[in-house]
Structure 1
Amino acid sequence: MITIYDWFGYEMPIKERYKLIKEAGFDGVLLWWSDGFGRDCFGRNDYRNGPQIAREAGLFIENIHTPVQNQNDLWLDNLDGEALTDCYLQCVEDCAKFEIPTMVVHLPSEDNQCNALGLDRIKKIAEKAEQLGIKVALENLRNFANLSYVLEQVDSMSIGFCYDCCHHNNYNQGYDLLSMYGSRLMAIHLHDNGGSRAQHQLPFDGRIDWSTTMKKIAQTNYSGATALEPMNWDYKDLSAEEFLKEAFERAKRLEALKLQIPSLS
């Protein structure tokens, strides 16, 4: 099973986007769940129409990515902190409503240390997720202290780990995250760390050791899809169709490594 983050670049209507993703060979998508960053420019609340449009295109929905613009507010004892908590609680309800099993969340960065209020908010989100049967996957970024603290303090089947291999290689190489939290793995983001922004490149175009990465993912017994999260930032010479075709071929190489099948490339 191979999936891709739905907003990989290129301006086009959402129906055309999902049609091209399906035609490239992908089985499913990871949805961006916000109108932030200008990603709703083709229609009001397009992102909330995404699940139906994706399914009409023959794609399954692996997870949603919650808004990230205000991620550092979660621990704050003010209206901004309450608003972000309410946003995440709404995302849990949206997952249940749209029959999407998992949501990915960014915890605050390292210089925003988790406090008792923040932990209580995570537990409130976990309680709602447990009630509705939704998984909340916390993604690794520049947030290792907060990520490790929350995973250690919140004992809930609904709170787990989203492994981003590029963020790991860029920010936390000293920690074996998959060995530490692989038993709670709920989602993965696969992209490489080369290019103009040192992230979101197609696999095999950067410096990540993919053989080791895919072996470690396989060792966690993670049953989810091989999920890509590339952007077209360094591939402006490719059309959307060409970019997706290349992304799918790279994903098949990753699948071969995970399954220990010799790659044909």
Structure 2
Amino acid sequence: MISIYDWFGYELPIGERYKLIKEAGFDGVLLWWSEDFGRGYYRNGPQIAREAGLFIENIHAPIQNQHDLWLDNLNGEALTDCYLKCIEDCANFEIPTMVVHLPDEDHLHNALGLDRIKRIADRAEQLNVNVALENLWNLTNLAYMLEQVDSLHIGFCYDSGHHYRYYPDKDLLSLYGSRLMAVHLHDDNGSYAQHGLPFDGTLDWSTIMRRIVEVNYPGPISIEVMNWDYTSLMPKQFLHEAYKRAKRLEALCKTE
């Protein structure tokens, strides 16, 4: 199974977007779960994607206020409530997993933040939804929460581009692969040293895919690529190229 982040660039009506994704060969999509970045009314996404023949692998919770999660104020409570509502949305829309950004290294975890993650874990357990904490420049917070919250519904979203941008010397998949619930695969050749097509940058994909196989990850090969450095390609061309790269990643899994 192969999936792609649904908002891969280009201004396209959502129905056409999902049609092109399906025609390129993808089985599923990762959904951004807010109106941010010009997405519009995002709650129609699951139905439109499924009508196009795509499965919904996960949703990505909003990120704009991610650092509020540790704050003892109304903003912190509002963000916690937002994440709890996203879990409820996953249950209502029959989406198995939500991906979340924790605050970064400039915002160190605290007791209130741990309590909030435990509240999130409780709601996830009640509704049988997985919450995958994504690696960015946040390893201190990520490691702490994975160590302190012992729940089968709190796990790890591995992002290859973020890994090698921020912590290239850390073997994140060996450290946290047993909690792996989602992957975001992309290369480091993009404008922001990330979100390029696999095999266009410097990442060692043979090693990355071997690590994913070693931890027995059962989920799809999921790429989170953007067209930022491929603007000469039409949407259909970009998606077909993205699918070919994803198939190469899948082939690496089968040879390991």
Same-fold status (TM-score > 0.5): yes
Structure 1 residue matching 2:225: 3-state secondary structure: coil
Structure 2 residue matching 1:74: 3-state secondary structure: helix
CA drift of 1:173 comes to 1.5
The count of aligned residue pairs is: 256
1:253 lines up with 2:214 in the alignment: no
Distance 1:232 1:130 in 2: 37
State the partner residue of 1:200: 195
Q: Which amino acid aligns with 2:52?
A: A
Aligned-pair identity in percent equals: 72
Residues 93-132 of structure 1 aligned to structure 2 (within 5 Å)? 93-132=88-127
CA drift of 1:164 comes to 0.3
Distance 2:90 2:173 in 1: 26
1:185 lines up with 2:180 in the alignment: yes
Residues 68-217 of structure 1 aligned to structure 2 (within 5 Å)? 68-217=63-212
Distance 1:158 1:196 in 2: 34
Distance 2:241 2:234 in 1: 11
Structure 2 residue matching 1:167: 3-state secondary structure: helix
Q: Which amino acid aligns with 2:96?
A: P
- Structure 1 residue corresponding to 2:218, chosen from 184, 209, 223: 223
CA drift of 1:197 comes to 1.5
Distance 1:221 1:181 in 2: 12
* CA offsets 1:202-246 (integer angstroms, 9 cap, x no match): 000111000000000110100000000000000000000000000
Q: Which amino acid aligns with 1:119?
A: L
**Aligned-pair Cα RMSD in Å:** 0.7
1:36 lines up with 2:31 in the alignment: no
Distance 1:132 1:210 in 2: 35
State the partner residue of 1:233: 228
Q: Which runs of 5+ in 2 are unaligned?
A: none
Q: Which amino acid aligns with 1:202?
A: L
Deviation >2 Å, runs of 4+: none
Structure 1 residue matching 2:255: 3-state secondary structure: coil
CA drift of 1:195 comes to 2.9
* CA offsets 1:163-217 (integer angstroms, 9 cap, x no match): 0011101101121111111010000000001132211000001110000000001
Distance 1:151 1:231 in 2: 29
Distance 2:223 2:189 in 1: 15
Residues 47-62 of structure 1 aligned to structure 2 (within 5 Å)? 47-62=42-57
Structure 2 residue matching 1:259: 3-state secondary structure: helix
1:23 lines up with 2:31 in the alignment: no
Q: Which amino acid aligns with 1:167?
A: H
Distance 1:175 1:247 in 2: 27
Q: Which amino acid aligns with 1:35?
A: E
Q: Which amino acid aligns with 1:32?
A: W
Distance 1:10 1:3 in 2: 18
CA drift of 1:39 comes to 1.7
Structure 1 residue matching 2:123: 3-state secondary structure: helix
Distance 1:14 1:111 in 2: 36
Distance 2:184 2:191 in 1: 19
